Structure 1
């Protein structure tokens, strides 16, 4: 299947291919399916993650998803969605969360989360729960320690940063579709706590930077996590293919 040389992935959904194509609409187009951002040929987990990731990435990084279009075709019902969900959960907890904790100078908590065993099943996910919740408590304490004015000043930058860094995209994929084990493993708890802790840590870092400098402090971490999320998505899309584990 050939990707048109002039195909440029665009943000958001589109009523017609002539108006533009997001990642999943491009999958439908290349596969010869009716125009949709929910192509029947694609794994539900990959679809959930891909739609969100497409929209949070800046235009230049979004184009790095183009080579994955053929890899997404034929993934529906391939029996790998539970594994993909656990990969997303592992990334959310062991990559996304500690990046923000480190930025907020919660070094001990960042190290503890990074040193967790890779989340590959219910047991390893449940074992991560107490460590993630401890990080949540520490990051929440930083939020509570500041006054309302300080929270308001830093909040917009932190919210934007946590959002575009793809954490919500990974969280949705971690709890989607056939990922029942991932949902149970997160207890809706480890996953949600990781997201909450990351937001609080991002806010703490923004507050420490203060004012207009907040985004400048957060931006390198955002870019790092966006690139990491693209790599995660690539691995999720290619497991079982070309020798990928």
Structure 2
């Protein structure tokens, strides 16, 4: 197996990063999260550092940009030095993308179903087989289509609660996960991509169903902490893991 040597984090440069910008700053101000990764690795400053896993970069780039300054510095800044050297083989990258898809289907979606009191459906989704490869979603198409239909509400209700629902069900962590898996879903074919959209809309419909009956913010915050644990899992994945060793529980 070919080993990819990880660059060392420059401690002097690390001491210079006290805060993160929301996005690329062409005027030379604070660095965004992925620019900071490149800076620490001694690379030319870019938001697409060569030393970071593309899946992690996509997730962090999108998530960080959707947070407030305080949230970004509390959640993302401590992760920056740990992202240096995470780039690996295509096989490792595929496993990471599958892990993000698994989080969307078996963690993010059931959380909103539970809030909407669709507990039977939530437990069914959470109990689906782990997604170990993006192609596994093809076996879940019927489950996700049923979930979307079950959670659907009248269009008027969704329009009335639209901005509030999108701010919760499609917050920064969800958008980051979707950006991370989107290309892989498209490459896997239209049925798999459609299943991904079913999962995304089912979460929004479930949030709309719960809106006005239960507060949305606690679920959103719980999923934010879950997304942070997901990132920890992605960072910890290794090339030489035994088959199924990094399977989500």
More helix by share: 1
Equivalent-residue separation in structure 2 for 1:182 and 1:236 (angstroms): 21
Equivalent-residue separation in structure 1 for 2:134 and 2:58 (angstroms): 21
Secondary structure of 1:168 counterpart:
helix
Q: Does 1:191 align with 2:202?
A: no
Q: Does the aligned pair in 1 maintain the 2:135–2:188 contact within 8 Å?
A: no
Q: 1:159 aligns to what?
A: 166
Equivalent-residue separation in structure 2 for 1:186 and 1:44 (angstroms): 24
Note the C-alpha offset of 1:60: 3.9
Q: Can you give the 5+ residue segments of structure 1 that lack an aligned partner in the other structure?
A: 210-216
CA, structure 1 residues 122+65, in 2 after alignment: closer, same or farther (shift >3 Å)? closer
Equivalent-residue separation in structure 2 for 1:182 and 1:221 (angstroms): 31
Alignment deviations for residues 105-131 of structure 1 (CA, whole Å, 9 cap, x no partner) = 111211110010111135642222211
Secondary structure of 2:226 counterpart:
helix
Q: 2:99 aligns to what?
A: 87
CA, structure 1 residues 180+104, in 2 after alignment: closer, same or farther (shift >3 Å)? closer
Runs of 4+ in 1 over 6 A off after TM superposition: none
CA, structure 1 residues 105+180, in 2 after alignment: closer, same or farther (shift >3 Å)? closer
CA, structure 1 residues 182+70, in 2 after alignment: closer, same or farther (shift >3 Å)? farther
Note the C-alpha offset of 1:164: 1.8
Mapping for residues 25-36 of structure 1, pairs under 5 Å: 25-36=35-46
Question: TM (normalized to structure 2)?
Answer: 0.81
Equivalent-residue separation in structure 1 for 2:191 and 2:94 (angstroms): 13
The Cα RMSD (Å) is 2.7
Pick aligned residue for 1:117 from 129, 137, 143: 129
Equivalent-residue separation in structure 1 for 2:161 and 2:237 (angstroms): 39
Secondary structure of 1:189 counterpart:
helix
Alignment deviations for residues 197-237 of structure 1 (CA, whole Å, 9 cap, x no partner) = 1111112222545xxxxxxx111111111111111112112
Question: TM (normalized to structure 1)?
Answer: 0.82
**How many residue pairs were aligned?**
230
CA, structure 1 residues 197+101, in 2 after alignment: closer, same or farther (shift >3 Å)? same
Q: Does the aligned pair in 1 maintain the 2:94–2:133 contact within 8 Å?
A: no
